[in-house]
Amino acid sequence: MTPKEPIKILVTNQKGGVGKSTIAANLAAYFAMQEGMQIALIDFDKQASSSRWTKKAPDVGVRISQVEVNYQSAGMALLSARAGVRKYSSGVDISICDFTWTPAMSEDFMSDFDVVLVPSSSAKFEMASTEIFILEYVQKRMARLAASKQSLIVVPSRVDPGYASIGTFTNLDFLANCFIAPPIHRMPEVDSYVYEDFFCVCPDKAVADNFCMFGKYIAHKVDERREIRKTLSINGQSVNREIAKKVSVLDDYRKRAKNLGFYGGAALTGANPDNNLTPVPDAPATRTIGERFIPGFLRKTTE
Ligand SMILES: Nc1ncnc2c1ncn2[C@@H]1O[C@H](COP(=O)(O)OP(=O)(O)OP(=O)(O)O)[C@@H](O)[C@H]1O
Ligand SMILES: [Mg+2]
């Protein structure tokens, strides 16, 4: 029997404290507990927060490993990171890497993954830095990522309950295969149970339902990717040419985004078959409720 080729998920952002470890560990638990899959959680963080968490929480069968990257040179960094992923991903259905992005890592590392999750809070400054992060690092690999349908998914994290995502990421909607996941809500009293249990089985039904909705969305993307992997060599070339045309607009956009210094732009409207949340036609780019800034891709579900 040929060994199975695991689906690899990277959870990353250059910014700290955006929810990477929370999402990586909870997603690992979701896949293991709700989808019955064999999961490896690979922690690149020196503080090892996701492994600490899953070690304290009940054993749900997630295989946890830690990888230390050798940053002596760019080449060594990529090599050691790749070796770690390969070693600890073997034999599982899905491996999930929790990695704080650093410019010392080559963008080539990103293209090793089937799905790249970029958590970001919905705060104005964090959305802006997330956009720029994506443009900086994904741009160079975009044609290849899109051609092979590797998806880049922005994950709104710590969103106030009562908001849902709409459409794709506003300013990045020209990036093929860039999506926005259903948001992970700001969980109440997160610290009282966060290190003992997982969101997907939380006794607070609202917390569990919210996380399971996110988990299902990612599971669907993983299934899509599995299907696509079977046919990659057939259609990769033609998609590639289409995407290459789009890349040329990116440099100009990036300059403008930096000058603006904030997140703006018109929300993408219309049906998005990859997102089963209902888009709102003519949604405003941004709204301000009281003093709070609400990004255009979030809509209020409870009034
Ligand atoms: N959905 C949520 N609701 C409430 N609090 C949250 C949520 N997600 C994360 N937090 C809290 O936010 C903080 C940062 O989260 P986390 O450690 O997952 O981020 P990180 O990106 O891994 O950070 P670092 O860059 O330090 O590794 C933690 O205290 C965590 O408990
Ligand atoms: Mg972390």
Residue 262 pLDDT more than 90? Answer: no
* Residue 183 backbone zone (phi > 0: left; psi -120 to 50: alpha; other: beta): beta
pLDDT tens per residue across span 139-156: 666 666 666 778 888 899
Quick one: pLDDT band at residue 180, thresholds 50, 70, 90? confident
User: And the tokens for 39?
Assistant: 């999961």
Quick one: pLDDT band at residue 296, thresholds 50, 70, 90? low
Q: Are strands 115-121 and 7-13 parallel, antiparallel or unpaired?
A: parallel
Q: Could you say which ligand is closest to the alpha carbon of residue 119?
A: 1
22 lines ligand 1 (CB under 6 A): yes
28 lines ligand 1 (CB under 6 A): no
Residue 201 pLDDT more than 70? Answer: yes
Run of H or E including 298? strand 298-300
Residue 261 pLDDT more than 50? Answer: no
Average model confidence (pLDDT) for the chain?
Answer: 76
3 lines ligand 1 (CB under 6 A): no
20 lines ligand 1 (CB under 6 A): yes
Run of H or E including 131? helix 124-138
Nearest CA to ligand 1 atom 16: 19
Q: Are strands 163-165 and 298-300 parallel, antiparallel or unpaired?
A: antiparallel
State the CB neighbour count (10 A cutoff) for residue 16: 8
Give the Å distance between the CA of 49 and the centre of ligand 2: 5
157 vs 173 pLDDT, higher one: 157
Run of H or E including 7? strand 7-13
Contact 177, 142 (CB under 8 A): no
Of 36-40, 207-211, 237-241, give the lowest mean pLDDT range. 237-241
Output Rg (C-alpha) for the chain, integer angstroms. 19
**Residue in the structure block whose two tokens are 């295989």:** 63
207 lines ligand 1 (CB under 6 A): no
Q: How far apart are CA 73 and CA 26, in angstroms?
A: 33
- Furthest CA-CA distance within the chain: 61
Give residue 117's pLDDT: 95
Give residue 263's pLDDT: 39
Counting from 1 in the atom list of ligand 1, the atom nearest the Cα of 157 is: 1
DSSP 198-216: -GGG-SSHHHHHHHHHHHH
pLDDT tens per residue across span 75-121: 999 999 999 999 999 999 999 999 999 999 998 898 899 999 999 88
Domains of the chain (ranges plus CATH)?
A: 7-241 (3.40.50.300)
Give the Å distance between the CA of 21 and the centre of ligand 1: 7
DSSP 8-state secondary structure symbol assigned to residue 286: E
| Among the listed residues 164, 152, 162, 119, the one whose alpha carbon sits nearest the alpha carbon of residue 26 | 119
